[in-house]
Structure 1
Amino acid sequence: MSTVSEIIEKLKTLTLLEASELVSQIEETFGVDASAPVGGGVVMAAMPAGGAEAAPKEEEKTLFDVVLEEIPADKKVGIYKVVRNIANIAVNQVKEFTGTLPKALKESISKEEAEAAKQQLEEAGAKVKIV
């Protein structure tokens, strides 16, 4: 099996969060922007005979995930309290929940709710991102 095929097979096993992290690390490592168009040519779709219609607009993202990336050792207690309140989990579950980071703390929530959670976590000292 070729190296490329092996990499493709490994990529198929990634979660969406892991794939997002991979893209971020590739962008940082190689100084590229994955959202930038690639290639020299522009491909135009054939226009209907009735005239030019506007291309469909990209839908604006309405649901977001709050991802807890890092908890500094000296701020664990305060962050655990915030995590417990946001995730609505028991005290004894917080340490287990935060055992492997990065991890999505809240998923598919509104932008306002995500921003509020992020602010609370950052004020407690955690490193957080919204995806």
Structure 2
Amino acid sequence: MATKTEEILEQLKQLTLLEAADLVKQIEETFGVDASAGGGMVMMAPAASTAAAAEVVEEQTQFDLILEEVPADKKIAILKVVRSLTNLGLKEAKDLVESTPKPIREGASKEEVTEAKKQLEEAGAKVTIK
């Protein structure tokens, strides 16, 4: 059996680059594998597992809270909430509130952005979570 694999290896060494690429393509189609995986490993990709993998959607764990709109009559209340959420100084928080849409929190947990959204909406702001 070792001689058979040695013969195949010798034949592979004699292939041109185009022939080797064609061989890889044929192996992928014939055996249902993907040779493009990192580290030079060939990954098996049977039809059943690829269909199941397509159905699996990664759950988002990090969220951004975007301040969309600030009504003029609610600006001061919203400014106070923004300052408490971001620890920005008065001028920085004012600039942020006046230049909407702007992110208030980035890469935060769902609970954190939900609570911040609630506070901002109670103050009169329009916010979105992305």
| Same amino acid, percent of matched pairs | 50
Runs of 4+ in 1 over 3 A off after TM superposition: 46-51
CA deviation vs aligned residue, 1:35-74 (integer Å, no higher than 9, x gap)? xxxxxxxxxxx58686622325121000000000000000
Query: Unaligned regions of 5+ residues in structure 1, if any?
Result: 1-45
Count the aligned residue pairs.
86
Cα distance 1:73–1:52, how it changes in 2: closer, same or farther (>3 A)? same
Partner of 2:41: none
CA deviation vs aligned residue, 1:61-95 (integer Å, no higher than 9, x gap)? 00000000000000111000000011110112211
Query: Unaligned regions of 5+ residues in structure 2, if any?
Result: 1-31, 34-43
* Matches for 1:1-131 after TM superposition, within 5 Å: 52-53=48-49, 54-56=52-54, 57-131=56-130
**TM-score under structure 2 normalisation?**
0.60
Q: Larger RCO: Structure 1 or Structure 2 (Cα < 8 Å, ≥ 6 residues apart)? A: 1
SS in 2 for 1:55: helix
Larger Rg: 2
More helix by share: 2
Cα distance 1:99–1:58, how it changes in 2: closer, same or farther (>3 A)? same
